[in-house]
């Protein structure tokens, strides 16, 4: 009897796990991802601003260098559709050198139409 209840409970848990939605939400606090080396190098960044004009979307983010020497930062914008799925093809990684004690603005646009959100990944 106990085995039957345990088996029934496990089956219910498995079925509940299968009812997940096919969406991968991009939370507003997850739009900027920075490796710890970025912070150690004195770089700070604003989360990307997503702009949807007509059919073409774009994003921008401002990076600040608080050190006395220039720092080269590598970055990539990741674009997501209305269901939260990553859009392909992925952008190629890019690099920017931020001069000492100054700021730069990064710009990106998806390679395809239909982007609804963006995530910016920064690394050295």
Residue 1 lies in a domain: no
* Average pLDDT of the residues in 6-18: 55
* Average pLDDT of the residues in 92-121: 93
Res 21: pLDDT = 46
The length of the chain is: 124
Residues facing residue 121 across a β-bridge: 33, 76
HSE-CB of 12 using CA atoms within 13 angstroms: 6
Residue 32 lies in a domain: yes
Using pLDDT thresholds of 50, 70 and 90, give the confidence band for residue 12: low
Q: Rg of the chain over CA atoms, in angstroms?
A: 21
State what percent of residues in the chain have pLDDT above 70: 75
Res 69: pLDDT = 96
The token pair that represents 36 in the structure block: 């710890």
Residue 9 lies in a domain: no
pLDDT tens per residue across span 14-70: 555 554 444 555 565 689 999 999 999 999 999 999 998 766 789 999 999 999 999
Q: Domain span at residue 56?
A: 23-123
Domains: count for the chain:
1
Q: Mean pLDDT in the chain?
A: 83
Give 105: exposed, middle or buried? Use CB within 10 Å, 0-12, 13-18, 19+: exposed
Res 5: pLDDT = 58
Residue 46 lies in a domain: yes
Residue 17 lies in a domain: no
CATH of the domain at 27: 2.60.40.3230
């Amino acid at each position: 009897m106990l085995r039957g209840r345990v088996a029934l409970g496990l089956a219910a848990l498995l079925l509940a796990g299968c009812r997940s939605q096919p969406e991968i939400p991009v939370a507003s606090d997850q739009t900027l991802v920075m490796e710890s080396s970025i912070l150690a190098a004195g770089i700070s960044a604003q989360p990307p601003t997503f702009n949807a004009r007509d059919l073409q979307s774009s994003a921008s983010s401002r990076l600040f260098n608080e050190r006395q020497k220039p720092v080269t930062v590598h970055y990539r914008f990741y674009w997501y559709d209305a269901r939260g799925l990553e859009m392909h093809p992925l952008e190629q990684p890019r690099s920017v050198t931020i001069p000492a004690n100054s700021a730069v603005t990064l710009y990106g646009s998806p390679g395809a139409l239909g982007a609804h959100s963006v995530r910016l990944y920064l690394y050295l």
